[in-house]
Amino acid sequence: MSSDTVAIKIDNVSKKFTLQYHRTLKQVAVAAAKGHKVRDTFLALDDVSFEVKQGEAIGLMGLNGSGKSTLLKLVQGVMRPDSGTVRTRGRIAGLIATGAGFHPQLSGRENIYLNAAVFGMSEAETRRKLDSIIDFADIGKHIDSEVGHYSSGMGARLGFAIAIHVDSDIFLADEVLAVGDKPFRQKCMAKIDEIRTSGRTLFYVSHSAASVARMCDRVIVLENGRMGFDGEPEAGIKYLHYDDGDDDPGNDESAMGADI
């Protein structure tokens, strides 16, 4: 499905995080006086470069803490790299690490408007799609209660429902389905398939080899913030040794749902 148009261009991107050991001025002063370390930095992303063509479905894999969510946050524009450049084409929508950017004290409905506005939807567009979003999230009367009281699955349902209703060109999905129940996961998989076949660019983060093999036509593996592998899905999964363990969900449809 991919064309020649570049959708995402990542050049020598590094992202450094500061580990802050002390938070208040007093703690910082005391630690500094005692000669303790006040902060430490490490590279969550280290000189990462690659290009994604329009319509490609990228599976982003790697162990916990390897920098996948960080990379997606750079692509979404939530964070900026410390060095290197990130360039994207068109509208971006998606869900990064379980739980969307919701305001816990607001109702689900109010959060729909806010979230949609950040994704660039106008008031009229949101109003037009409101019923469809609520329908897809399917969380019943909770839509009018505080999001802070939602179960994690309910939050993910609403976040995903909003994200798929954005007319985006690039869709980011970071373990969005990890907390959804089975019927919802199936609904989501169908939706992601639809996104894929419509020529939109997909960035899919998952620890499930089976779902990546099914959904993606290219796999990128991050290892401690560095690019470890970039190529065919099968080879990438093999590279990560996600293909051998006997507790792996395997390839059958029902088990695959277990940890999409």
Ligand X SMILES: Nc1ncnc2c1ncn2[C@@H]1O[C@H](COP(=O)(O)OP(=O)(O)OP(=O)(O)O)[C@@H](O)[C@H]1O
Nearest distance in Å: CB 201, Mg ion: 19
Q: Measured between alpha carbons, how far is 120 from 16 in angstroms, rounded to an integer?
A: 29
Q: Is 73 in the site for other proteins (CB under 8 A)?
A: yes
Binding site for Mg ion (CB under 5 A): 69, 97
Q: 3-state class of 183 per DSSP?
A: helix
Nearer to other proteins, 66 or 115 (CB): 115
Least separation in angstroms between CB 80 and ligand X: 13
The interface with ligand X within residues 59-118 (CB under 6 A) comprises 62, 64-70
Angle, helices 152-164 vs 182-197, to 10°: value is: 20
Tell me which residue has tokens 């261009």. Answer: 9
Smallest separation, CB 226 to other proteins (Å): 19
Binds other proteins (CB under 8 A): choice among 199, 231, 251, 258: 199
Count of alpha carbons within 13 Å of 115, Cβ hemisphere only?
A: 30
Please tell me whether residue 54 binds ligand X under the rule CB under 6 A: no
DSSP code per residue over 122-140: -HHHHHHHHHHHHHHH--G
67 binds, among Mg ion, ligand X, other proteins, none (CB under 5 to 8 A by kind): ligand X
Find the length of the chain.
Answer: 260
Residue for token pair 């000669």: 35
Give whichever of 90 and 228 is closer to ligand X, judged by the CB atom.
228
Partner whose footprint covers residue 65, from other proteins, ligand X, Mg ion, none (CB < 5 to 8 Å by kind): ligand X
* 179 secondary structure, DSSP code: T
d(CA 158, CA 184): 11
8 Å CB contact between 258 and 237 = no
* Pairwise CA distance, residues 208 & 242, whole Å: 8
250, 257 in Cβ contact below 8 A? no
Q: Is 231 in the site for other proteins (CB under 8 A)?
A: no
CB of 67 to other proteins, least distance (A): 13
Contacted entry of other proteins, ligand X, Mg ion, none for residue 249, CB cut-off 5 to 8 Å set by kind: none
Provide the binding-site residues for other proteins, judged by CB under 8 A.
3, 5-6, 9, 17-18, 20, 23-26, 54, 73-80, 85-92, 96-97, 99-106, 110, 113-115, 117-118, 122-123, 167, 169, 198-200
Provide the binding-site residues for ligand X, judged by CB under 6 A.
17, 19, 44, 62, 64-70
